[in-house]
Amino acid sequence: MKTLQELVRPNIWSLSPYTSARDEYQGKDAKVFLDANENPYNDPVNRYPDPLQRDLKQRISAIKGVPADTIFFGNGSDEAIDLMYRIFCTPGKDNAVAIEPTYGMYGVCADINDVEYRRVLMDENFQPNADRILAATDSNTKLVFFCTPNNPSGNNIDHKVIDKVLDSFDGIVIVDEAYIDFAGVPSYLKQLADRPNLIVLQTFSKAWGMAGIRLGMAFAQPEIIGIMNKVKYPYNVNLLTQKRAMEEVMQYDRVQGWVESILKERTRLMAEFAKLDCCIKVYPSDANFFLARVKDAAATYNYLVDQGIIVRNRSKIALCGNSLRVTIGTVVENNALLEALSKY
């Protein structure tokens, strides 16, 4: 691996960050706070939130089994994805490599940051080839993106491929585990301590059931987390989000119960969907959704919209011709989908 200083953009490496009032005084026990030009009325939202979300990091550290200083929280994982480009990629010069098809934000954030984005097509079982990924990198490649389980295909990416890239690539490897709770395979968090070039992304938006509060997680060695903290907006995770997330982490068994129900429904819905007349193939899923090839995706999609049921038409994505992506809902929701399609 290159040194972190070689990988980070020079202007970011030398950046002196903004220091907020809440950075300078971190204790909670003072009785009078006259340091941040806040309004003394309207408790508790009158106060700026903890810029480093320390309480929440303590809890997540215990749940995930990683040290608190390896955790970053953002306004969704989307903030962490954007930060990867802003920290590592000099616009108009550096590039990023990713599997294709995959989550759209990697490419959109590359475009926004004027960074070349290289797509390496997977095979028809949605598995990538490590040598082809490595061949797509050059001396200006700073980032390689994996997403496992992958969106929109739904399958786990072969860990041998990811490991080989982690071993051989001299830049940063991002493993997006937004759907890891449904995956039935170990998380890359286990490798964090041994891999200075690994960044793992997870989110509160899927298994945790909190897409609405916008909270994403990135995990990496403390040196990288320190740079992310320096570049992020000072108060990137608002007070209401931190409070709500704290309530939820105190009842983590709820999340585990949801995951169990969703996995059960995944098995049932995929089996039933495969029997439908409109269905050609249901792809294997390790996530809370599945991809299915149908006879006419646009027609099926439009029919379902008329029935008040919305799925995602992914037909224009590489390797996903005539494919719909279906999220696993409640038993009632899944039955509504099956019933509508049985009459189609």
Query: With respect to ligand PLP, which residue has the nearer C-beta, 153 or 229?
Result: 153
Does the footprint of ligand PLP cover residue 248 (CB under 6 A)?
no
Interacting stretch for ligand PLP, rule CB under 6 A, among 72-80, 137-145, 266-274, 331-339?
72-80
204's tokens: 């509160």
Query: With respect to ligand PLP, which residue has the nearer C-beta, 211 or 305?
Result: 211
- Cβ atoms 145, 176 nearer than 8 A: yes
Query: With respect to ligand PLP, which residue has the nearer C-beta, 7 or 99?
Result: 99
DSSP track, 8-20: S-HHHHTPPPP--
SS3 146: strand
Choose, by CB under 6 A, the member of 103, 146, 208, 301 that binds ligand PLP. 103
Minimum CB–partner distance for residue 34 and ligand PLP (Å): 36
Shortest CA distance to 33 belongs to which of 18, 20, 52?
A: 20
Does the footprint of ligand PLP cover residue 241 (CB under 6 A)?
no
Does the footprint of ligand PLP cover residue 218 (CB under 6 A)?
no
Does the footprint of ligand PLP cover residue 236 (CB under 6 A)?
no
Minimum CB–partner distance for residue 327 and ligand PLP (Å): 10
Who contacts 271 (Cβ-Cβ below 8 Å, separation ≥6)? none
Cα angle 29, 19, 15; round to 5: 150
Q: Which residue has the tokens 């049985």?
A: 342
Q: What is the DSSP letter of 317?
A: S
- Cβ atoms 237, 49 nearer than 8 A: yes
Query: With respect to ligand PLP, which residue has the nearer C-beta, 287 or 341?
Result: 287
Query: Closest-CB residue for ligand PLP?
Result: 76
Does the footprint of ligand PLP cover residue 205 (CB under 6 A)?
yes
x/- track of binding to ligand PLP for residues 149-188 (CB under 6 A)? --x------------------------x-x----------
Does the footprint of ligand PLP cover residue 213 (CB under 6 A)?
no
Does the footprint of ligand PLP cover residue 109 (CB under 6 A)?
no
Query: With respect to ligand PLP, which residue has the nearer C-beta, 104 or 184?
Result: 104
What is the rounded distance in angstroms from the CA atom of residue 326 to the CA atom of residue 340?
14
Shortest CA distance to 276 belongs to which of 313, 304, 317?
A: 304
300, 303, 309, 310: CA torsion to nearest 10: 50
Choose, by CB under 6 A, the member of 147, 255, 292, 337 that binds ligand PLP. 147
Does the footprint of ligand PLP cover residue 112 (CB under 6 A)?
no
- Cβ atoms 215, 241 nearer than 8 A: yes
Cα 128 to its chain centre, rounded Å, is 19
Does the footprint of ligand PLP cover residue 77 (CB under 6 A)?
yes
Minimum CB–partner distance for residue 13 and ligand PLP (Å): 26
Residue 31: Cβ-neighbour burial (10 angstroms; 0-12, 13-18, 19+)? exposed
Alpha-helix residue ranges (DSSP H) falling in 140-238: 159-168, 222-231
Query: With respect to ligand PLP, which residue has the nearer C-beta, 8 or 173?
Result: 173
Binding site for ligand PLP (CB under 6 A): 76-78, 103, 147, 151, 176, 178, 203, 205-206, 211, 216
